[in-house]
Structure 1
């Protein structure tokens, strides 16, 4: 029987850089690696948006739109380039005006992007509708998200499979336009059985023709198991990265996933030898950058304190800057209580930052 070909989006140059280095990486240093990934057969890249957008201005003295132009010039006209947006917050941390939300989609189209993944941390469909309309209006593909996580122990009332099914039903009923659906687990805490049930229900709702993806991080140590569950339930695509920006706070490693799928009915359609050559180029490109130890670790506190991989390292880098890193374990422990009291908001930007800042203040200044 022929194997099902699974769509892979490489996240090394957005979520990988953000999750491992806090996005503090210069474009010129990674240009050879981008070309090497194209040569290795990667046809779908996440290239910008999220915190990588702001980190270029904050830490690299670079322009995000120049970066997108350069990325497109390297990969050529046929490669899929995808970015991440936070619903009505676009690439900001607060609610944007309608003209800025529209301008965001217009400019990202102008600078070579083909798809925008659009999420809301509260799973509030109203916050997805206008951005979706703008994305489509400017000729981009729209990937709508259901945001996923695990609640701390003893918490109930949200973030079960039926909760996500209800969110997806509201998306469909709203009439907002979308080309694909992503279940986005920024903290990597969702358990495999729940992932299976949520995607199985989504497939039943959406039919066989709608593209469904699952996104997670390795922070809690269950990412490969969740990807296997997602594929068994009918997902069409997953997000992967390459060492040194894979594993830990980032996405599972591409080579590890190829190994995990041996003997299964699924195939990523990638050549291991070519990927190994690309990995060498990426490692060489990033050899002079400091790798925070926590960025490459599985953290046993994360299932109880769901801090997103893409935010954890950015926060620990700031804690290093302020000489408060010794308080990290206490902050993560405190975050579990903050999430519990904070309700059902998914721990992804900007809600995850609210959770983290409150937990940090509780530890440093007292609750």
Structure 2
């Protein structure tokens, strides 16, 4: 009997990048690997969308539309290029108005995409109706999604096979146009038995000629098992990746899955030798990039705090940016309670980011003392209906802190009525800045806000982490540790870099790390900056950063008389904007930072006369 051919999409250049490098990869660096994959016989690629849209503007100083054009030119005219859309959120964390949702489909079709995988993290089917129609109207193939995960132990009420069957039935009953169906487990936590039962039920519900796709990650170490379970239950296609962006937080490697299917009734129908060559090319392309250790690991605790692979490394990269990687274990542990009380939205972007942001705030500010905007709005209904009702006390506290009432209105209805959202205000911002008003630029500003403007003005900074940068950080910390221990002359000190501990041997003005010896010196002591005397009539007090972050904007001008609680400037950390406010009434005398500065906790931001 002939073996059943299992189709696969190569996710290396979208989900792989997001799950390993926080989506921060330059186009020139990876296109040779796309060419090698094409020559190996791969013709179905995930080519953009998701975090790989905003990240190009935020961290790579590149245009996502240009990247898609170049991807198409490299992959060839016949390749199926697929992107990822977040329903009414399209390519960001914010939900969007109807004109932005339509523009997303139209522009991605214009720039060489053939298929859009479209999901809603809450499995609120109402959020898939209009977005799915726009995708179909743009002439694209629509792969509609049911989002999966495993609930933390002890939780129930959603995310079982019956829940997914009900969600798929709602999709079919809503007459959403679709070409294929995907069950997507971004956290890689669904059990193989549940995957089998779910896919088997779906296969019975769908026409035989509709392709049924399954997606998971290896984060919890069961990706290969779940893929085999899905195939046994009737899945036609799966998602696989290539090293170095495979395994760990990513999808199962193509070579690994080829091995799993040996001796079975299934085949990937690939030339394994050519795939090996393609992976060698890809490794060479990425050799200068920092490979976070957590991206290559299996974490047995992920089912207790379901963090998707694509969000895990994106967040650890931001923690590294802000010098907070040592808090990561606490934040992951805190996620469990956040998931339990938030209404069981699937842990996939944007909801996974809401979970992480709230866990981050619970660790940094105390449990439930500060609601992340996205998490608070989610439990209040502003992103749609959660699978189960969120904890009533959490809803109450979110409403009080954010000053918002719970709502049952649809996100599109809310956003279409919001004058700050949509294409028109984005077009106005471009005109104000004297920037070209193209369809692409309008969409960039609508979805990337001020960071989009920064990119278009040519002021964007590169935020890619290369190996040499991490080594420089190690040497800098090594020098500091060695200087602190130089009074003893020699010895071994432990240095923590990016959450990892290194043993450093210090001997006078030299120090040895991982077999390499560095010349160091204590250097001249740097005197502390003198504190300016307080002007007559009041005390001069500093305004300091409440946490590490990036300065986004200065809200008031020096000389302004401000009231207690008035916002002075805005910072960003972990994709959250944080308003720094006056703690007392007084006069702002000066700022010591400018937009774009990266600051640490306690850094003086401004001076006030109190």
**TM > 0.5 between the two?**
yes
RMSD of Structure 2 on Structure 1 (CA): 0.6
Question: CA offset at residue 269 of structure 1?
Answer: 1.0
Matched, 1:251 2:251: yes
* Cα distance in 2, alignment partners of residues 360 and 100 from structure 1: 30
Cα offset for 1:301?
A: 1.5
1:172 equivalent in structure 2: 172
Does structure 2 conserve the Cα–Cα contact (< 8 Å) formed by 1:115 and 1:141? yes
Instruction: Identify the residue that residue 42 of structure 2 maps to in structure 1.
Output: 42
Provide the residue aligned with 2:5 in structure 1: 5
Deviates more, 1:87-96 or 1:212-221: 87-96
Moved over 6 A (4+): none
Show the 5 A alignment for 1:1-367: 1-367=1-367
Aligned partner of residue 303 in structure 1, secondary structure: helix
Give the whole-Å Cα distance in 2 for the aligned partners of 1:189 and 1:170: 24
Rounded Cα–Cα distance in structure 1 between residues aligned with 2:286 and 2:344: 38
How many angstroms apart in 1 are the aligned matches of 2:95 and 2:33?
Answer: 35
CA distance in 2: counterparts of 1:351 and 1:12, whole angstroms: 23
- Summarize deviations over 1:82-102 as a string: whole Å, max 9, x none: 000000111121111111111
Give, in angstroms, the shift of residue 207 of structure 1: 3.0
| Deviates most, 200-209 or 212-221 | 200-209
Give the distance between the partners of 1:217 and 1:159, measured in 2 at CA.
17
State the alpha-carbon separation in 1 of the partners of residues 351 and 19 from structure 2.
17
Provide, for residues 113-157 of structure 1, a one-character-per-residue CA deviation record: whole Å limited to 9, x for no partner: 000000000000100000111100010000000000000010010
Query: Quick check: 356-365 or 124-133, which moved more?
Result: 356-365
Q: Is the 8 A contact 1:80 1:115 kept in 2?
A: yes
Distance 1:55 1:270 in 2: 32
- The structure with the largest helix share of the pair is 1
Partners of 2:249 and 2:242 in 1: CA distance: 13
**What is the DSSP-based 3-state SS (H/G/I as helix, E as strand, rest coil) of the residue aligned with 2:120?**
coil
Q: Kindly provide the CA deviation profile for residues 313-333 of structure 1, in whole angstroms up to 9, marking residues without a partner as x.
A: 000001111111111111111
Report SS of the residue matched to 2:60.
Answer: coil
Q: Show CA shifts across 1:238-275 (max 9, x none).
A: 00001000011110111000000000111001111000
Q: Deviations over 1:321-354 (max 9, x none)?
A: 1111111111111101110111220001111111
CA distance in 2, matches of 1:137, 1:325: 44
CA drift at 1:10 = 0.0
Q: Which runs of 5+ in 2 are unaligned?
A: 368-610
SS at match of 2:304: coil
In structure 1, distance between residues paired with 2:171 and 2:21: 34
Structure of greater Rg: 2
Q: What residue in structure 1 maps to residue 597 of structure 2?
A: none
Contact 1:244 1:283 in 2 (8 A): yes
User: Normalising to structure 1: TM-score of the pair?
Assistant: 0.99
| TM-score, normalisation: structure 2 | 0.60
Residues 135 and 142 in structure 1, CA contact (< 8 A), matched pair in contact too: yes
State how far apart, in whole Å, the 1-side matches of 2:65 and 2:30 are. Answer: 16
